[in-house]
Structure 1
Amino acid sequence: MAVSSSSSAKPPREAAREGRGAQKGQQTRAAILEAALSLASQVGLEGLSIGVLAELMQMSKSGVFAHFGSREELQISVIREYHNKFEDEVFHPAIREPRGLPRLRALFDRWVQRVAVEIDSGCIYISGAVEFDDRPGPVRDALAGMVRAWHQALQRAVRIATEEGHLRADTEPQQMAFEIHGLILALHHDARFLRSPGALERARSGFERLVSHYLNPADPVAVLPVQAPAAGAPRPRKSKRSTA
């Protein structure tokens, strides 16, 4: 005999109470994750522990454990949270720029801005690579997967700039992305470790020198750095890829 939907439905008060409980649980988890990300930026992913976070959040260890289940899951959740923030601050704003070189320049410029903010905190991608480069397992796999996804997005931006005719037709996306990443690593090292003045300017200068090597001299859009248009201003017209 089928059970009617009315007999299985929860009373409104109970349903509302459960809804509030779930919302509070999500808010608590988000707060713990934010604290964990801040801590990992300072002491690395290996410095994270359920006990340290419980003390930081003024919660019981069992309370923190209930939201993540294990230290490993906590580390993976922090990696995902960092990746989401990185996308929000670097990838999504840059992808709104015109296709081709303007977008590639925006990706690099946003990346440099991110490094500038992280001088006093640290980059989970870079510090995590040092911690887990020779330690196979789920945490390393999660971190490597996020970094690969970003590298693929960068290579795709290079490929589109080539298709738009801004870069030479023989530009190899993986090679150019490798060189761009090298600039970021050098910037992070000099700005964070050496505290070297002018590191940000040198990184930007290095990027323009790198781009100049790959420029398609026949495309006027690629000759000078493209500034983001003011609000309400028309976007620059796209260049057409040669069909010759």
Structure 2
Amino acid sequence: MADRRIERGNQTRQLILRRAVDLASVEGLDGLSLGRLAGELELSKSGVFALFGSKEDLQLATIGAATKIFVEHVIEPANAAPPGIDRLWRTCDGWLTYSRDRVFPGGCFFYAASAEFDARSGKVHDALVAARADWSRHLEQTARDAQRAGEVVSGTDIPQLVFELAAFLEMANAESVLHDEFTCYDKAFRAVLNRLRAVATDPAALPA
């Protein structure tokens, strides 16, 4: 019975967090409320409070849940390819697809949440900083692995390359969400490909 209670508690927690990440991507992490989530999901307020305890706990757990979803949609599929320029391309392509397909209704969860908390301090701000730093490090490591594999020109300024690639991705997300249009993703796909072709030892290894 204890195991069943734990399993039910975990299932309820995941249900709450799935709704929380969707809400936060549109309305912000400050828009989250334990009472609101309990009402929308027809759960007892006391049960929801028992799982999270405070709004800050809920916000931190929501960032953690969003990170797992991001990894599943962007990092893991690209990592199925061997280290090289193709994996770097797949990583960028996966990010644009994740944003374009609205895995989160408000576009990229981390872009929206970072804009909300960038000038604040505290645990939520620090968790967002850490999540974005992890993504930047991953993108840079992917680019360096491609260089070590001999598929990115020696001497390429990797930090500069990564900065430019991330800018293309985030610009497409921002423009699409703001204007509710999706042609910006086509522009970003072309921009990323052009930038990668410029540093690839064999541009033909990238999509036409």
Q: Normalised by the size of structure 2, how large is the TM-score?
A: 0.93
1:94 aligns with 2:78: yes
- Determine which of 186, 203, 207 is the counterpart of 1:201: 186
Q: Which amino acid aligns with 1:31?
A: L
> What residue number does 2:206 align with?
225
- Pairs within 5 Å for 1:44-63: 44-63=28-47
Q: Which amino acid aligns with 2:86?
A: P
Q: CA deviation at 1:226?
A: 5.0
Distance 1:134 1:59 in 2: 34
Distance 1:78 1:146 in 2: 12
- Pairs within 5 Å for 1:1-244: 17-118=1-102, 120-216=105-201, 220=202, 222-226=203-207
Q: CA deviation at 1:172?
A: 2.2
Distance 2:99 2:12 in 1: 29
Q: How many residues align?
A: 207
Q: CA deviation at 1:195?
A: 3.1
Q: Which shifted more, 117-126 or 87-96?
A: 117-126
Distance 2:48 2:182 in 1: 41
Distance 1:129 1:21 in 2: 35
Distance 1:113 1:159 in 2: 23
Residues 196, 35 of structure 1: CA spacing in aligned structure 2 closer, same or farther, 3 A cutoff?
closer
Distance 2:121 2:182 in 1: 37
Over 3 Å off, 4+ runs: none
Residues 30-76 of structure 1: CA distance to partner in whole angstroms, max 9, x if unpaired?
A: 11111111211221111001111121122232221100111001001
Residues 8-40 of structure 1: CA distance to partner in whole angstroms, max 9, x if unpaired?
A: xxxxxxxxx111111111111111111111211
Which protein, 1 or 2, shows the higher relative CO under an 8 Å CA cutoff with sep ≥ 6? 2
Whether the aligned pair in 1 keeps the contact of 2:197 and 2:206 (CA below 8 Å) is no
Residues 86-116 of structure 1: CA distance to partner in whole angstroms, max 9, x if unpaired?
A: 1011101101102110100110111111010
Whether the aligned pair in 1 keeps the contact of 2:86 and 2:205 (CA below 8 Å) is no
Whether the aligned pair in 1 keeps the contact of 2:139 and 2:162 (CA below 8 Å) is yes
Whether the aligned pair in 1 keeps the contact of 2:25 and 2:113 (CA below 8 Å) is no
Structure 1 unaligned residues grouped into runs of 5+: 1-16, 228-244
Residues 39, 29 of structure 1: CA spacing in aligned structure 2 closer, same or farther, 3 A cutoff?
same
Distance 1:37 1:66 in 2: 19
Whether the aligned pair in 2 keeps the contact of 1:120 and 1:192 (CA below 8 Å) is no
Residues 221-244 of structure 1: CA distance to partner in whole angstroms, max 9, x if unpaired?
A: x434159xxxxxxxxxxxxxxxxx
Q: Normalised by the size of structure 1, how large is the TM-score?
A: 0.80
Larger Rg belongs to = 1
Distance 1:108 1:19 in 2: 41
Structure (1/2) with the larger helix percentage: 2
Distance 1:35 1:63 in 2: 16
Structure 2 unaligned residues grouped into runs of 5+: none
Secondary structure at the counterpart of residue 153 of structure 2? coil
Q: CA deviation at 1:120?
A: 4.3
